[in-house]
A and B are shown apart, each in its own frame.
Chain A
Amino acid sequence: MSILLHHRARFAAVSSRASVIVPLLRVIWRRPSGAIGLCICAVHALLALLGGFIVPYDPLAQDPTAVLAAPSFAHPFGTDHLGRDVLSRTIVGGQTAMAVTGIAAILAVLWGGSVGILAAMRGGLADEAIMRLVDAVGALPYLLFLLLLAAFVGDSVVALIPALALFYGVAIVRVTRAAALSVYSTDFVQAAIVRGEPVGRVLRQEILPNVLDVILVDGALRWSWMILGFSALSFLGFGVAPPTPDWGLMIAETRHVLAIAPWAALWPCVALATFIVGFNLLIDTAGKLIGVDHEARGQR
């Protein structure tokens, strides 16, 4: 086991970030699931970046004469309950959620990762205290927790960022701590410490390279689930405020006409689902590839 991990550490430590990503993308591209994920993510990234320039209508413009209009040449995705173009709203509907949860995910990875490593390396009382707090947040029903936070921060989406980061970071603490602990307790790391190598160097050379991929993969996946949590908040009346086009909110707002004008909720649903599925395929493949590579090297 320790030998395996050692090789993994070397593999990750030797290759710098930039030189890993390009070949990794190339390898991902050769796998069917990776290629699909990559394509979906590329389309979503393009739409999110260019959305404002390519929408056929103003996503906020209401047309009282075309309320809940079925898909047609003028409105390929139909219109919603206030006569707004669903296509335009779907195109830009991911921006807010992606931005808000994206920042929150980065914050979550940063604080969750550091606290997790800290807990693993310090051990003892600090570890125990951190884990009890982490457990407590985990033991709260997540929707109630988010509701409490959302009610507290009011209608400001920006204020939701620290709330989401706090909540989702907790899970990252757990994952990071487990990963760091398994590296930290291996013979070669313990040996390095016994040899008197400085803590900073052990952290930089042995622990970080080994847990970084775990944290990044976990953080990325969690980001996509955060977007889902965001839509659940909208369903219960929190989250993004109307009239902002947002997938979760669009689905929730048109729930009452789901059986009459399914297109109003269908397209944001499709957008949300494809994004999360695509992103998960991509990250899963990437994660697997890192694992596969290290297995291959371990056997060699």
Chain B
Amino acid sequence: MTYRDTLSGRPWRRAALSLFVGILLWPTDMFVGSTAQAETLRIAHPLGNGGKENVDPIHRNRFYPVTVMLYDGLLRPDEAGRPSPSLATQWESSPDLREWIFILREGVTFHDGSALDSDDVVFSLRRVLSEEIGSPLRSTLAIMAEIEALDDRTVRITLDAPNADFPTMIMHYLFRVVSSEGQDESLDAIYESGVGTGPFKLTTLDAEGTTVLEANPDYWDGAPGVPMVEVIAIPDSEARIQALLAGQLDLVRRVNPQQLALFQNRDGFEVQTFATGDWTSLVMRTDTPPFDDVRVRRALRLLVDREAIVRTVLGEAGGSVSCDTPVWPGDPYHVAQECPPDLEEARRLLAEAGYPDGLDVELHTSGLNALMVEVAQVYQAQAAEAGVRVNVRMAPSDGYWSNVWMQRPFVAAVWSQRPAAQILSEAFLSGANWNDSFWDNEEFDALLAEARATIDFEERKAVYARAQQLIWEDGGSMIAFFPNRVRAYSDTLSGVQPVHDFFLRWHEITKAE
């Protein structure tokens, strides 16, 4: 036999090829299928806290997708986003809006069988104020001066100033009632037991792998529709989508609008689009030149074609245009505004401010959020038409919030949906912790105080409207839109309401075989 016959003959090649393909594919078809039961609801979480997740609902490292299933708040939003009963069935305030009384639901028990009473609520509220825990909720609820139990089912909260919107603030998705039992009266300890009143109980906690929850059959709002929930850590957003498409997940909470087409020609999936109040801003520091000149920052906001940004960045899912206010259309205090691009006026203002030939600005953004990068790029292109040369600089995502945001004069930022009563004081009130434009406007501050102390809703709304108009005229944040969010899920699921994840009623979801 010659060398030629053996090695270059066809059988050899075919054998080699099938060996190659065989080795590549051999293990693949053997291991498909999940150990989970068919009715288990499988969702993913992005491991936002990198494995440090705990089940303390108010903690910075809260395991958020899990805590919302384990615990309930006092109030929850109804379809229109207004406060509605959850663990509290009634609430009312004193005429001066400083004292608030909450009456608790009867017959609610924790996962360990103990009954919910007002001590648990007082305990949960006081923990929020603990410096040691350092909850992100602390600054929002720091207005609570006194918290006391009047009887088993009645809690009284006294505020340090009148606040008509206190129910909205207590409805914050982070505030959840935990059990005071066995907590040794310590307000500073991290709550680690996972015992709550929520629709699901904790079985296995493994933030970096798969966390398992089982249904709480005694849930006060009806037994959950699925017996088990698995929360699987998948940090990469593309990997989450692929896992859903491959049948390893039942629901993906956030899909990039540009990926809608992935689901359109595919059987077995539902896509849901709903409005949110999340926003992406380009923030100018109003205390730093050239943005300390109101004409400059007004010009830089006037030149924006918000409709075009929405079309480019949000694609088919769309969203609603904002005129630089953080109050979204779903908020009771939202007021309709018009803000078409006005390049001429922008150029005129710039010339007046001493920049007849336009100006150069440096805009810092970061890959920690895709929208931050895309909005910055579209803004750069639009600004060029008004003679503003924007130099987009990518800052490292690590340390962005401490080294760039609220440091550099012009930066991109992302925020999640917040009620007007909360966000206006959190990020626009002068001297507020997260006032990232360093905006200092006495008139605005006075309007906020006035609104809080106004009893009548319509009157209050009018005051808030004036405050928002002031942001448009004088503020430093460019907020172009509120994006619609896209959620995708297997069509075996039903009962997925088109609301923000914060307020999704997980126990109403059912899964068919």
In-complex A–B contact (CB below 8 Å): yes
Chain A residues at the B interface, C-beta cutoff of 8 Å: 60-62, 64-65, 67-68, 81-83, 151, 154-155, 237-238, 241-243, 255-257, 259-260
Task: Decide yes or no: A155 and B261 within 8 Å by CB, A62-B378, A82-B378, A242-B373 being known contacts.
Answer: no
B315 interface residue per 8 A CB criterion: yes
Contact across chains for A62 and B367 when beta carbons are under 8 A apart = no
B243-263 vs A, CB cutoff 8 Å, 1 = contact: the mask equals: 000000000000010110110
Chain A CB within 10 A, most for which of B237, B393, B394: B394
Chain B contact patch, size range: 20 to 34
B147 interface residue per 8 A CB criterion: no
| Residues of chain A lying within 8 A (CB to CB) of residue B315 | 67-68
Which chain B residue has the least Cβ–Cβ distance from A260? Answer: B261
B374 interface residue per 8 A CB criterion: yes
| Residues of chain B lying within 8 A (CB to CB) of residue A237 | 367, 394, 397
Which chain A residue has the least Cβ–Cβ distance from B395? Answer: A155
Contact across chains for B258 and A257 when beta carbons are under 8 A apart = yes
CB distance from B395 to the nearest CB of A (A): 6
B392 interface residue per 8 A CB criterion: yes
B312 interface residue per 8 A CB criterion: yes
Report the Cα distance A83→B309, complex, angstroms: 12
Contact across chains for B374 and A82 when beta carbons are under 8 A apart = yes
List 16 A-B residue pairs with CB atoms under 8 Å apart, sorted by A's residue number.
Answer: A62-B312, A62-B377, A64-B311, A82-B313, A82-B377, A82-B378, A151-B398, A237-B397, A241-B393, A242-B373, A243-B380, A255-B238, A256-B237, A256-B241, A256-B259, A260-B258
B370-384 vs A, CB cutoff 8 Å, 1 = contact: the mask equals: 100110111011000
| Residues of chain A lying within 8 A (CB to CB) of residue B394 | 155, 237, 241-242
B308 interface residue per 8 A CB criterion: yes
Chain B residues numbered 74-92 whose CB sits less than 8 Å from any CB in chain A: none
Chain A CB within 10 A, most for which of B262, B313, B381: B381
B396 interface residue per 8 A CB criterion: yes
Task: Decide yes or no: A256 and B392 within 8 Å by CB, A62-B381, A82-B377 being known contacts.
Answer: no
CB distance from A230 to the nearest CB of B (A): 15
CB distance from A80 to the nearest CB of B (A): 10
Chain B residues numbered 307-360 whose CB sits less than 8 Å from any CB in chain A: 308, 311-313, 315
Main secondary structure of the interface of A (DSSP, over half): loop
Among candidates A83, A155, A260, residue contacting B396 with C-beta atoms closer than 8 Å:
A155
Report the Cα distance A242→B377, complex, angstroms: 7
CB distance from B174 to the nearest CB of A (A): 28
Report the Cα distance A155→B367, complex, angstroms: 11
Query: Besides A82-B313, A260-B262, 8 other CB < 8 A contacts?
Result: A61-B381, A64-B308, A68-B315, A155-B395, A242-B377, A242-B392, A257-B258, A259-B262
Report the Cα distance A241→B392, complex, angstroms: 8
Task: Decide yes or no: A83 and B395 within 8 Å by CB, A61-B381, A256-B256 being known contacts.
Answer: no
| Residues of chain A lying within 8 A (CB to CB) of residue B392 | 241-243
Report the Cα distance A176→B510, complex, angstroms: 66
Contact across chains for B311 and A65 when beta carbons are under 8 A apart = yes
| Residues of chain A lying within 8 A (CB to CB) of residue B397 | 237
CB distance from A240 to the nearest CB of B (A): 9
CB distance from B313 to the nearest CB of A (A): 8
Which chain B residue has the least Cβ–Cβ distance from A258? Answer: B238
| Residues of chain B lying within 8 A (CB to CB) of residue A60 | 381
| Residues of chain B lying within 8 A (CB to CB) of residue A62 | 312, 377-378, 381
Which chain B residue has the least Cβ–Cβ distance from A61? Answer: B381
Contact across chains for B396 and A151 when beta carbons are under 8 A apart = yes
Chain A CB within 10 A, most for which of B237, B396, B398: B396
CB distance from A13 to the nearest CB of B (A): 40
Contact across chains for A155 and B378 when beta carbons are under 8 A apart = no
Which chain A residue has the least Cβ–Cβ distance from B364? Answer: A155
Report the Cα distance A257→B258, complex, angstroms: 7
**In the complex, the 3 A-B pairs of residues with the closest C-beta atoms, listed nearest first:** A237-B367, A241-B394, A64-B312
| Residues of chain A lying within 8 A (CB to CB) of residue B374 | 81-82
Contact across chains for A67 and B311 when beta carbons are under 8 A apart = yes
Report the Cα distance A213→B250, complex, angstroms: 58
| Residues of chain A lying within 8 A (CB to CB) of residue B241 | 256
Which chain A residue has the least Cβ–Cβ distance from B370? Answer: A256
Contact across chains for A67 and B238 when beta carbons are under 8 A apart = no
| Residues of chain A lying within 8 A (CB to CB) of residue B258 | 67-68, 81, 256-257, 260
Chain A CB within 10 A, most for which of B262, B311, B312, B398: B312
Contact across chains for B259 and A82 when beta carbons are under 8 A apart = no
Report the Cα distance A151→B380, complex, angstroms: 24
Contact across chains for A257 and B259 when beta carbons are under 8 A apart = yes
